[in-house]
A and B are shown apart, each in its own frame.
Chain A
Amino acid sequence: MSTVPIEDRASQVQTMIHPTLNEEIEIFHPTFMQSSHFKTNFPVVGIAALPPTPKALGGDIFIIGSPKHHLFDAALREETEDTVPVSILRLRPFYYVFNRLTKENDKIYIVDDPRLKSGTRNNREGTPERKRWWEAMPVWTGVDFGAGAGGIAVRDTGNEVVIMGVGGGTVSAIF
């Protein structure tokens, strides 16, 4: 099997007859692979992402959930409004690259960093496949969400990043 990726969506486009309009259309069914994952110590009930900056490995993502999820679960079942702690985390993708000078691992956040070209088997300037890591930063932790965490939305306004989380009838905006 060829391992050379075809970075060309046009080659994957298929034609078909539209089911109701009865005309030929071009469609693209995306193929996915699960490239990485990470695990938290609480069920993640909401997730939102920012568009990536031009050279970033991917957009920052924001997750919301309750470290005391059993309280959230009990509040839902009993329809009570117990106070449930909620956490919002910001996650940023990076690669670890071993630095031969400092003998330590450097964190690389952009795709064109020359340190990523550490060499492959037949190419001294090659870029090897690397595992993607996620840097987690708590954005907010508190009990202002009433009966627990719900959805989360995030928007970069240019000057600041606005994060909105909802849960237990409360909407909190964080700047």
Chain B
Amino acid sequence: MRLLVVSYPENIDEGVVEVIDYHLPPASFLTNVFGIKHTERGGELSYVATIKSAYFTSPAGIVAVKDQPSLLSELDTHAIPSFYLTNTYQGSGLSRRIIEQTLSVARGDLVFYNAKAEGALRVGFGMDRPHAVATDDSESGRRVYVSTQAGVVNLFEQFFVDSVTPFKRIY
């Protein structure tokens, strides 16, 4: 069993992410008459959840990772995966039309949705109409590749830097 995630623009100003459960066909087995028997839930898709966020401005590409899935509860029995999502445009309405489409200011971004925390954050920005996204590390997404409609492929890498500036006393 595995979960698929799909993103699409719901309307011109915002988008949604659908989480769909894909039941892999259980192992078929030979019956005593040498036929192949399938169970009822073999290969079916079923709806799990819809995720909305102010960060999903115009979703185009999505890739899910195993890291930090949502917590299970009595009501939620499916762990929703965390995922990375690209937004073709960041603004909406007039700002999108003037700033991003007419003036061609690159403001597309890459968003990480942390399913465990049920929150999103922008992890990459300033791209010209980003589209498809992929990772070569499906566990935690250490390297994320984002392609754009301008023909550029960007590589984003996770890094761990001590961001605290050491305090230096000057006498």
Residues of B close to A34: CB separation below 8 A:
124, 154-156
CB distance from A133 to the nearest CB of B (A): 12
- Chain B CB within 8 A of A7 CB: yes
Q: From A151, which residue of chain B is reached at the shortest CB distance? A: B132
B134, CB-defined interface residue at 8 Å: yes
Q: How far is the CB of B129 from chain A (nearest CB, A)?
A: 8
* CB atoms of A31 and B159 under 8 A apart: yes
Task: Identify B152's interface contact among A9, A30, A38, CB under 8 A.
Answer: A38
State the majority secondary structure of interface residues on B.
strand
Chain B residue with the shortest CB-CB distance to A93: B155
Residue of B nearest to A89 (CB): B153
Scan residues 93-123 of chain A and give those whose CB is less than 8 A from a CB of chain B: none
Contact A47 B132 (CB under 8 A): yes
CA distance A33 to B124 in the complex (A): 8
User: By CB atoms of chain B within 10 A, which of A39, A44, A51 has the most?
Assistant: A44
Interface size on A, residues (CB 8 A): 52
A43-B151, A44-B147, A45-B131 known, 9 other contacts, Cβ within 8 Å: A4-B162, A28-B67, A31-B159, A40-B152, A43-B149, A47-B134, A51-B137, A60-B136, A63-B153
When the two chains form their complex, are residues B136 and A58 in contact, meaning their CB atoms are under 8 A apart?
yes
Tell me which residues across on chain A come within 8 A of B137, comparing CB atoms.
Answer: 51-52, 59
- 18 A-B pairs within 8 Å (CB atoms) are namely A6-B160, A8-B160, A12-B160, A27-B114, A27-B116, A30-B123, A32-B123, A35-B157, A36-B155, A40-B151, A44-B132, A46-B147, A47-B132, A49-B143, A51-B136, A51-B137, A52-B136, A61-B153
Interface residues of B (CB under 8 A from A): 61, 67-68, 71, 73, 110, 112, 114, 116-119, 121, 123-124, 131-138, 140-141, 143-166
A14-22, A77-85, A137-145, A167-175: which lies at the interface = A14-22
Please tell me if the beta carbons of A43 and B150 are within 8 angstroms of each other in the complex. Answer: yes
Residue numbers in A under 8 Å from B160 (CB-CB): 5-9, 11-12, 31
B116 to chain A, nearest CB (A): 6
